[in-house]
Amino acid sequence: MANLFDLIGRLMISAIFLFSGINKILNYDGTVGWMEGYGIPGILLIPAIIIEILFPLMVIIGYQTRIAAGGLLLFSLSTAFIFHFDFSDQMQVIAFLKNVGLAGGMLFLVVNGAKDFSLEKKKKYVRL
């Protein structure tokens, strides 16, 4: 049962990144304008989209989970400090804390990895 909950947890924590990456594709020009408003070059949206789609998929299927989770951990913290550091705005405080919470979940995956429902499942060999 713990392995099933591990898979469900990986799906749940990855979903926000996947939806965010897809939303960035669907609203590309608006997202570029928003990023440039913070002084971030719009060209960096492409790697952000790749990170927000590729790494969560890796976490879900359990392939290189620790590396992908580490990348998402750094991504979450960096976006929290770049885009959500205005503590005079309550919505930005919530967004900041959401990103910190996601980073904490990713740290848990970095430390523990994925369980049995993953491509990383260790094969047991029988010695003859």
57-88 pLDDT, tens digit each: 999 999 999 999 999 999 999 999 999 999 99
List Cα–Cα distances, 84 to 4, 28, 35, 110, 128, in angstroms.
Answer: 34, 20, 12, 24, 58
What dihedral angle (degrees, nearest 10) is formed by the CA atoms of 31, 102, 122, 118? -50
What is the pLDDT confidence band of residue 116, given thresholds at 50, 70 and 90? confident
Q: Decide if 121 is inside a domain.
A: no
Q: Decide if 56 is inside a domain.
A: yes
In terms of residue numbers, what domain contains 35?
2-112
Q: Decide if 123 is inside a domain.
A: no
Domains in the chain: how many in total? 1
Number of H helices, E strands in the chain: 5, 0
CB 110 within 8 A of CB 70: yes
Q: Decide if 125 is inside a domain.
A: no
Q: What is the largest distance, in Å, between two alpha-carbon atoms of the chain?
A: 67
Q: Decide if 78 is inside a domain.
A: yes
Q: Decide if 62 is inside a domain.
A: yes
pLDDT at 104 over 70: yes
pLDDT tens digits along 19-46 = 999 999 999 999 999 999 999 999 999 9
Q: What is the DSSP letter of 121?
A: P
The whole-number pLDDT of residue 126 equals 65
List Cα–Cα distances, 47 to 4, 12, 66, 91, in angstroms.
Answer: 31, 22, 19, 26
What is the pLDDT confidence band of residue 123, given thresholds at 50, 70 and 90? low
Q: Decide if 119 is inside a domain.
A: no
The whole-number pLDDT of residue 97 equals 97
CA distance 70 to 41: 24
The whole-number pLDDT of residue 54 equals 98
- Looking at every residue in the chain, the average pLDDT score rounds to 94
